């Protein structure tokens, strides 16, 4: 079991460029979560998929952020027109079916995004 895989581990973009972050959840986990972590704000929830369907994106900045889960083996988080305030570590987590328990979320190593 390789755990949750995130790529790239580090990404540097210029202001206004697009960034796409990838997550491969643990095989058999039906729930996938995206979080963002900064020193100032801490760990913030962004969005959540269950069985590939988007369930809750209440934490997502609506204008430039989007997330998809085209199949059960990967999810992407896309940030358009990146801004310096988007600089953060983006963490993906997966868990078993959260509707029947699945309280333990397994986190990936994160992608450190730096917007210059």
Partner 1 sequence: GQGVEQPDNLMSVEGTFARVNCTYSTSGFNGLSWYQQREGHAPVFLSYVVLDGLKDSGHFSTFLSRSNGYSYLLLTELQIKDSASYLCAVREPNYNVLYFGSGTKLTVEP
Instruction: Output the six-digit token pair for 42.
Output: 């801490």
Q: Report phi then psi at 5, rounded to 5.
A: -110, 135
Taking the complex as a whole, how short is the minimal distance between the CB of residue 46 and partner 1, in angstroms?
Answer: 10
Chain positions 10 to 69 lying near partner 1, rule: CB under 8 A, are 31, 33, 35, 42-45, 48, 50, 55-56
Confirm if 90 and 32 have CB atoms less than 8 A apart.
Answer: no
Look up residue 104 and give its DSSP letter.
P
Taking the complex as a whole, how short is the minimal distance between the CB of residue 5 and partner 1, in angstroms?
Answer: 11
Confirm if 82 and 49 have CB atoms less than 8 A apart.
Answer: no
Q: Binders of partner 1: how many residues, by CB under 8 A?
A: 24
Q: Which is nearer to partner 1, 82 or 95 (CB)?
A: 95
Residue 63's SS3 state is coil
Residue 52's SS3 state is coil
Half-sphere exposure of 108 (CA within 13 A, CB side): 28
Which of 19, 32, 108, 113 touches partner 1 by CB under 8 A?
A: 108
Which of 110, 111, 113, 115 touches partner 1 by CB under 8 A?
A: 110
Choices 17-25, 63-71, 77-85, 108-116 (CB under 8 A): range interacting with partner 1: 108-116
> What does the binding site for partner 1 look like in residue numbers (CB under 8 A)?
31, 33, 35, 42-45, 48, 50, 55-56, 91, 95, 98-99, 102-110
């Amino acid at each position: 079991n390789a755990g949750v895989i995130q790529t790239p581990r580090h990404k540097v973009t210029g202001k206004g460029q697009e960034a796409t972050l990838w997550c491969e959840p643990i095989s058999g986990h039906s729930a996938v979560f995206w979080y963002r972590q900064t020193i100032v704000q801490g760990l913030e929830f962004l969005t959540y998929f269950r069985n590939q369907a988007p369930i809750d994106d209440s934490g997502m900045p609506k204008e430039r952020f989007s997330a998809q889960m085209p199949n059960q083996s990967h999810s992407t988080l896309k940030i358009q027109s990146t801004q310096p305030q988007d600089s953060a570590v983006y963490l993906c987590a997966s868990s078993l079916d959260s509707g029947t328990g699945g309280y333990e979320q397994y986190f990936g190593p994160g992608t450190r995004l730096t917007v210059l």
